[in-house]
Amino acid sequence: MSLDFPKPEKKLFETKLTDVESTDVEGVGTVRKDIEGNVYRWVKNGEASAALAAGDSVCYDMSNAGASLRTIVLKPVSADLMLYAGIAMAAISAGSYGWVLINGYYATAKVDAPVTTAIALGNALIPANGITHLVRSTAAGTAPVYKAHALALEAVDTVATGSTTTAKVLVCAGV
């Protein structure tokens, strides 16, 4: 007796995770998984003129809701904060395409160093209006609840004046 199991889909990608392209070579919205289990999505930078830097947190474009919602990313703004997309893997110029980490480990995520309450291991981190850094979610369990977020994998101490640092995070933005 023979058991026929379906073979996993095999896809060869045109680009490295840090490549940026001016055309859609991977098929916008394509999801990719690496050997460590990290998951990435091929997206378009929808900003009119601003580039996204490697390590920037990005959100999906709410004005692009519908079938193509998970294809265009922008710098976080109030209207899009609930649609956290993940972290840019490379500097993606305006109108260009690149990979965004949507689930998995990122060693140098941009995080706002808190002025008053330190970020502890395991704190939920969310995007904030007008910046591309993650901030500590203040009231866990109260509205609005951010289903897509990152978890701090190391503590970030308070500072005298607000500044930005990098921290290890686990991105939980979803597939």
Peptide bond into 144 cis (omega under 30): yes
122-133 burial: b if 16+ Cβ within 10 Å, else e: ebbbbbbeebbb
pTM, entire model? 0.87
54: exposed, middle or buried (C-beta count within 10 Å: 0-12, 13-18, 19+)?
middle
Residue at token pair 């939980």: 172
Residue at token pair 């519908």: 66
Measure the CA–CA gap between 104 and 170, rounded to whole angstroms. Answer: 5
Assess contact for 40 and 99: CB atoms under 8 A: yes
67-123 per-position pLDDT tens digit: 678 899 999 988 888 889 999 999 999 999 999 999 999 999 999 888 888 899 999
DSSP H or E stretch at residue 32: strand 31-33
110-151 per-position pLDDT tens digit: 998 888 888 999 998 999 888 888 988 876 555 556 778 999
Assess contact for 112 and 128: CB atoms under 8 A: yes
Q: Any bridge partners for residue 40, and if so which?
A: 32, 101
Q: Read off the tokens for 11.
A: 């896809």
Q: What is the pLDDT of residue 12?
A: 84
